Amino acid sequence: MSEMHNPAHPGEVLREYLPEGMSVTDAAKALHVTRQSLSAVLNGRAGISAGMALRLEAALGIEAGFWLRMQMAFDLWEARQRGVARGVRHIAA
């Protein structure tokens, strides 16, 4: 069964939590990641890893599980849209 809506990529949500006017470069430095890796997350080209989730928890005070659950919901929705399980047969025990 497909979800009815497209969940937001966690990078979109992360943008809302970064201080207004903070550059990607400054945020990346604060998180101890490269500018390129943070930019990829913010622009939806990369997902949030466990390591990034822990960094965000330390920097923003928002638990790592929040970011990982959001990433999982996005990944599942995307996989369903691509039909990755189409044609897979049930394996009887």
- 24 φ/ψ sector (left φ>0, alpha ψ -120 to 50, else beta): alpha
Complete domains list, the chain, with CATH: 10-75 (1.10.260.40)
CA 40, distance to chain mean position in Å, is 10
Helix axes 35-42, 10-17, angle to 10 degrees: 110
**DSSP character for 57?**
H
* Predicted confidence pLDDT, tens digits, the chain (93 residues): 555 589 999 999 999 999 999 999 999 999 999 999 999 999 999 999 999 999 999 999 999 999 999 999 999 999 999 999 999 999 998
Q: What is the pTM of this model?
A: 0.89
